[in-house]
């Protein structure tokens, strides 16, 4: 059992308000110009003495390597500053960091998910207002709206590393074996692919795999396509959908399973347990020929394929299931400085080096997604450090997705692999063969439990 505290326990420990009150007080969506008008006093200037900083992030091997190389370059350019990194894969990472945040022992600079600003610093109690170090971070490199997404509780609590959204990736090597030469672009295409895979390749082949959280994101994507409204109000997390509408979205996912488009969860678990999709034998060998993932994950999924299937990896098109362009974009991740940091000016210098300065940004490239910083993107492009697949995927996402994400959607109680409410909902549908109407109350109760206002 994990020793990490839950988000709700964290709020009790820190004396934060309840989730609904937190969102009302946070001022999310305020522009960075508001922050500038009420900027706090600047921190002490860099001393020039020997300084030690710590930084933490999650990711895969290539991201780890990029961060470490960029940190080494920063220390070489700033010989008095030593930077000590802590990093690991995503699994279990939020539990680890929530415990550190609650105990006041998190690293000086932290890679953070956007919703952590609300979950763990809803009163600006955990992360520094970066306006206090504005002499060392060039805020002008971000669009105001992008920067404003990290403005919470009247405080610029982070700067965005990248923006992201979900898109389909396909293994066209397998699609071609099934007699399909074009990527799916409509719901009819998906259904036809399910039938072709089963008849031409056999019961073990599927056009698409979706885990529990992936299914919830696609449910929202579908509903936004049909009804043209955000899943929930981005500022207050008031749900915008009725129980019947949500049940319709859940039944949409069930229809994909029933029509052999998506591998049933019992089948996937039986073969792979909790193994991530990109590490599953089915993905590697082409038996699963599609995934619905973040645009920054393109290279990870391509690189996982075996030699026969890798050439067929293709960035697909966003599918328009209704009259509207469904799907949301969000801050993929940010960099924040903790309130406990003893050297905030130097920490800000490190962030600026990684995201804005030519040397650091050219090393980081697109390992954390397409850079949101204008100078960082220019440096990475000039260095040839932007992954073409990631750039293609990001371009399609940003051009298509029309809706906003609320900060509670990614609460770990809801989205956690294996234990989250989303997982429970879709496990129940697949294992018990029930309809969306039979499980919608499980979803709504779970959402209400983390702070959503439910009017369904």
DSSP string for 246-290: HHHHHHHHHHHHHTTSB--HHHHHHHHTT--GGGSHHHHHTSB-E
Q: How far apart are CA 341 and CA 10, in angstroms?
A: 20
Helix (H) / strand (E) containing 56: strand 51-58
Instruction: State the Cα angle at 231 between 124 and 239, rounded to 5°.
Output: 75
Q: Mean of the pLDDT values across residues 316-331?
A: 95
pLDDT reported for residue 40: 64
pLDDT reported for residue 2: 33
Instruction: State the Cα angle at 233 between 232 and 236, rounded to 5°.
Output: 115
pLDDT reported for residue 191: 98
Domain with CATH 3.40.190.10 in the chain: 7-163+331-398, 165-328+403-449
pLDDT reported for residue 42: 72
- Within a 13 Å sphere around the CA of 57, how many CA atoms are in the beta-carbon half? 26
Confidence at 117, pLDDT banded by 50, 70, 90? very high
Confidence at 219, pLDDT banded by 50, 70, 90? very high
Residue 305 has pLDDT above 60, yes or no: yes
Q: What is the pLDDT of residues 182-197, one digit of tens each?
A: 999 999 999 999 999 9
CATH topology of domain 165-328+403-449: D-Maltodextrin-Binding Protein; domain 2 (3.40.190)
- Considering the segment(s) 7-163+331-398 as one domain, its CATH architecture is 3-Layer(aba) Sandwich (3.40)
Residue 343 has pLDDT above 60, yes or no: yes
Confidence at 41, pLDDT banded by 50, 70, 90? low
Quote the percentage of the chain above a pLDDT of 90: 82
First-to-final CA distance of the chain:
35
Residue with structure tokens 């409410």? 421
Q: What three-state secondary structure class fits 87?
A: strand
In this structure, is the dihedral angle defined by the CA atoms of residues 238, 243, 248 and 249, taken in order, positive or negative?
positive
Residue 45 has pLDDT above 70, yes or no: yes
Radius of gyration of the chain (CA): 22
Helix (H) / strand (E) containing 54: strand 51-58
- Answer yes or no: are the C-beta atoms of 209 and 290 closer than 8 Å: yes
């Amino acid at each position: 059992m994990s020793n990490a505290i839950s988000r709700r326990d964290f709020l009790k420990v820190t004396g934060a308000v309840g989730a609904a009150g937190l969102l009302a007080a946070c001022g999310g969506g305020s522009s960075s110009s508001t922050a500038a008008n009420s900027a706090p006093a600047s921190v002490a200037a860099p001393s020039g003495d020997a300084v030690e900083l710590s930084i933490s992030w999650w990711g895969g091997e290539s991201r780890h390597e990029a961060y470490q190389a960029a940190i080494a370059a920063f220390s070489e350019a700033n010989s008095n500053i030593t930077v000590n990194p802590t990093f690991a894969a995503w699994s279990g990472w939020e539990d680890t960091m929530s415990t550190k945040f609650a105990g006041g022992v998190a690293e000086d600079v932290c890679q953070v998910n956007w919703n952590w600003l609300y979950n763990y610093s809803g009163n600006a109690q955990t992360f520094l207002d970066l306006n206090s170090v504005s002499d060392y971070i060039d805020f002008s490199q971000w669009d105001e709206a992008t920067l404003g997404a990290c403005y919470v509780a009247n405080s610029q609590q982070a700067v965005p590393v990248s923006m992201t959204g979900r898109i389909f990736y396909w293994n066209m090597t397998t699609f071609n074996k099934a007699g399909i030469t074009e990527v799916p672009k409509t719901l009819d295409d998906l259904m036809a692919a399910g039938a072709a895979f089963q008849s031409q390749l056999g019961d073990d082949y599927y056009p698409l795999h979706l885990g529990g959280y992936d299914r919830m994101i696609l449910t929202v994507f579908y509903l936004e396509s049909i009804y043209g409204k955000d899943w929930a109000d981005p500022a207050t997390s008031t749900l915008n959908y009725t129980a019947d509408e949500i049940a319709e979205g859940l039944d949409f996912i069930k229809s994909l399973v029933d029509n052999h488009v998506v591998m049933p969860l019992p089948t996937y678990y039986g073969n792979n347990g909790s193994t991530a999709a990109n590490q599953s034998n089915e993905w590697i060998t082409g038996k699963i020929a599609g995934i619905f993932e973040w645009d920054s994950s393109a290279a990870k999924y391509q690189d996982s394929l075996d030699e026969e299937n890798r050439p067929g990896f293709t960035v697909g098109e966003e599918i328009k299931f209704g009259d509207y362009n469904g799907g949301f974009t969000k801050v993929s991740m940010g960099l924040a400085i903790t309130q406990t940091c003893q050297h905030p000016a130097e920490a800000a210098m490190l962030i600026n080096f990684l995201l804005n300065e030519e040397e650091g940004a050219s090393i980081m490239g697109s390992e954390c997604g397409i850079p949101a910083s204008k100078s960082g993107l220019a440096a990475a492009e000039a260095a040839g450090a932007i992954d073409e697949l990631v750039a293609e995927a990001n371009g399609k996402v940003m051009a298509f997705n029309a809706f906003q994400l609320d900060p509670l959607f990614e609460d770990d109680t809801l989205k956690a692999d294996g234990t989250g409410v989303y997982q429970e909902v879709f496990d129940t549908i697949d294992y018990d063969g029930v309809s969306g109407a039979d499980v919608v109350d499980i979803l709504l109760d779970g959402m209400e439990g983390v702070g959503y206002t439910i009017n369904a």
